[in-house]
Amino acid sequence: MLLGYSMGAMPPMMASGEGAEKIATWISTGMKGDAPAEFGACASCHGADGKGMNGMSPNLAEYDDILVAKVLEHGKKGAIGEMPSFKSRLNPTQVKAVSVYLQSIQGE
Ligand code: HEC
């Protein structure tokens, strides 16, 4: 299930093996310092800073308002199952509240 970003779907096999490990480590430790060279394959869509180029694609640095709203609207398929859409259950104010809360607990 896609999240509805204007860039659409992400192509598979953008990175693998050691390159993928380096990118994952850099992103999960807060994107400090220079990006690994392998991130060049991602920067064309996610931006050099990984923040999604103003909503064109997902922000990889944090769960921003756009990403939270898209996940709540479209649901999300993960490795252990699928989260349903909350579109009919949350109004825009509630979506914003969820987003503010998620940002407040980031990095804890
Ligand atoms: C051609 C453009 C493009 C490239 C290149 C690309 N991505 Fe993406 N990426 C996207 C789009 C569009 C989505 C959202 C897809 C969806 O709707 O589920 C996405 C989704 C993601 C997500 C999931 C975000 C979330 O929480 O839902 C991650 C993580 C990610 N990309 C990481 C990467 C990494 C790492 C690379 C480089 C190895 C990369 N992407 C290369 C376009 C791209």
pLDDT 10s digits, 63-84: 899 999 999 999 999 999 999 9
What's the average model confidence in pLDDT over 30-47? Answer: 91
> How many structural domains are present in the chain?
2
Position 1 pLDDT exceeds 80: no
What's the average model confidence in pLDDT over 7-22? Answer: 89
- Cβ atoms 69, 5 nearer than 8 A: no
- Cβ atoms 68, 102 nearer than 8 A: yes
Q: 6: domain range?
A: 1-61
User: Cα-flanking dihedrals φ and ψ of residue 45, to 5°?
Assistant: -105, -40
- Cβ atoms 60, 50 nearer than 8 A: yes
Residues 49 and 85 placed together within one structural domain of the fold: no
Taking the CA atoms of residue 12, residue 80, residue 99 and residue 23 in that order, the dihedral angle to the nearest 10 degrees is: -40
Token pair of 24, please? Answer: 């994952």
The CA-based angle 91-96-101, given to 5 degrees, is: 125
Atom of ligand 1 nearest to the CA of 70: 17
Q: Is 44 in the pocket of ligand 1 (CB under 6 A)?
A: yes
- Give residue 44's pLDDT: 92
Residues 85 and 55 placed together within one structural domain of the fold: no
Q: Is 41 left (phi over 0), alpha (psi -120 to 50) or beta?
A: alpha
Residues 71 and 104 placed together within one structural domain of the fold: yes
Residues 57 and 72 placed together within one structural domain of the fold: no
Q: Is 15 in the pocket of ligand 1 (CB under 6 A)?
A: yes
Site of tokens 């850099």: 26
- Give residue 97's pLDDT: 95
Residues 51 and 1 placed together within one structural domain of the fold: yes
Atom of ligand 1 nearest to the CA of 6: 12
Residues 32 and 79 placed together within one structural domain of the fold: no
What percentage of the chain exceeds 70 in pLDDT?
97
Residues 90 and 102 placed together within one structural domain of the fold: yes
Question: pLDDT by residue (tens digit) across 42-59?
Answer: 999 999 999 999 999 999
Position 108 pLDDT exceeds 70: no
What's the average model confidence in pLDDT over 37-46? Answer: 93
Q: Is 14 in the pocket of ligand 1 (CB under 6 A)?
A: yes
Which of 21, 22, 27, 45 has most ligand 1 atoms within 8 Å of its beta carbon, as the pocket-test mutant? Answer: 45
